[in-house]
Amino acid sequence: MTRKYDDWTGNVVPEATVRSLDPSAVRAVRATYESLHRDSDEIISLDDEAFLTKVGFFKRGKVTNAALVLLGKSSESFVPSSVCIRWRLIGVDGAEEDSRVMERPLLLAARQVVSMVRNTTVQIGSSGRSTSTYRVASLTEAIFNAIQFQDYESGGTIDVVERERESVTVSNGGSFPQIRPETFALSRPTNADDRNMFLRRAMVNSGLIPGAMSGIRGMYLSQAYRHFPLPDFSVTDNRVSVTFPGIRSGPYTRILDTRDDLSFETIIDLDRMAKCRYVPEKRISELASQGLVAVFDGVPSLICDESGVMRRYRGTDREAVLSLISDVGPVSRSDVVEMLRARGSHELSDSQVSVKATNLLQSMRKEGLVEKVEGSTRSARYRAVPR
């Protein structure tokens, strides 16, 4: 009697043989393994049955559900027909313009779907560097993630929804590890959902996916490197989805185009702010100190400090104003107001920022640090007193 496991993907299917697998899919997984293990002549020389046993798709030479899901022929009935990938194209007006169902083997179906996604080339800022709207490796990784975490007991359909000129969303039935997705981007957590461990280990062993969930980190890093909004993960009604935005616009994009000194944690905060998601006040203050956020009437907003004011003038507002006057030369009160707004270190209204600029200039003038060179109080220009 064949033993049954809680992990459905690890169950042996006695009636299935190596002939139940699609030869093209088997060649594809072997090619992937060989590209990563060119020195493993012993394993590469094995026949298909021995090779698939070695990397973990077979158990002692017996075909498993994992092998049938990823590599099995669509004509075989060992796996439900619902195990497939469904692609839909949504037009700019919200109407469905096209849809297709890619049957097993899911390995080939995943690559076919990715090749169908409309992928244009865009230029990043004024640097002359260009990039694709979607990174093929990230889309493939997202679909492979969906395959490995899919709840096959409740159906196996993986949905890929392409919204024309806007985004691509990959979703599957199941759950996500109890960890904020950004955690995978900032570190390398090893926690993962226990579902489909047999399938997941085989995909890792064969080189189809990286270990320790590092593929999610790669999705975030590639979006940031290409100056696109970061991936959006969502878990609703026992379904998990990840969306790759395909539009570059707004202050977030402009900041990434003009600043090359940002940490990845900072980019995540900027992305959250751009999407109206929560960012702790401490982090907002840090963003403000870098000239990335300004607070107007208590509302933090992303700004693009292309002049580099915030990078040059740090410290207290007083120290920053004095440095500005010393470096730039005669400045007006409005120049000081604009700098204080850009710093955004305090939640002050516009009128309060204006009063603060006046008070700082008057205080430094009384102390002999600056002097008025021309104009009245409102139009005066100030310079540093020579030492």
Walking along the chain (387 residues) 10 residues at a time, the average pLDDT comes out as 71 97 98 87 89 96 98 95 97 96 97 96 85 96 94 90 96 81 72 82 94 82 95 89 95 91 94 94 86 78 69 75 80 80 65 87 91 73 85
Sign of the dihedral defined by the CA atoms of residues 282, 285, 291, 294, in that order:
positive
For residue 115, the model assigns a pLDDT of 97
User: How many residues belong to the chain?
Assistant: 387
Rounded distance between C-alpha atoms, residue 12 and residue 313, angstroms: 66
For residue 87, the model assigns a pLDDT of 98
What's the distance, CA 68 to chain centroid?
Answer: 31
The model carries a pTM of 0.80
Q: What is the DSSP letter of 64?
A: B
For residue 18, the model assigns a pLDDT of 97
For residue 145, what are the contacts with CB-CB under 8 A and spacing of at least 6?
170, 209, 215, 216, 242
Looking from the CA of 353 toward its CB, the CA atoms found within 13 Å total 23
- Helix residue ranges per DSSP H, the chain: 23-36, 41-44, 48-55, 65-71, 106-116, 136-149, 181-186, 197-205, 214-225, 250-258, 264-274, 281-289, 309-312, 317-328, 333-343, 350-366
For residue 57, the model assigns a pLDDT of 98
For residue 19, the model assigns a pLDDT of 97
Reading the block at residue 80, the tokens are 């439900």
For residue 1, the model assigns a pLDDT of 43
Rounded distance between C-alpha atoms, residue 333 and residue 337, angstroms: 6
Reading the block at residue 263, the tokens are 């940490």
What's the distance, CA 218 to chain centroid?
Answer: 8
For residue 343, the model assigns a pLDDT of 67
**Helix axes 317-328 and 333-343, enclosed angle (nearest 10):** 130
Q: What is the pLDDT of residues 183-200, one digit of tens each?
A: 878 876 555 667 899 999
Rounded distance between C-alpha atoms, residue 358 and residue 333, angstroms: 7
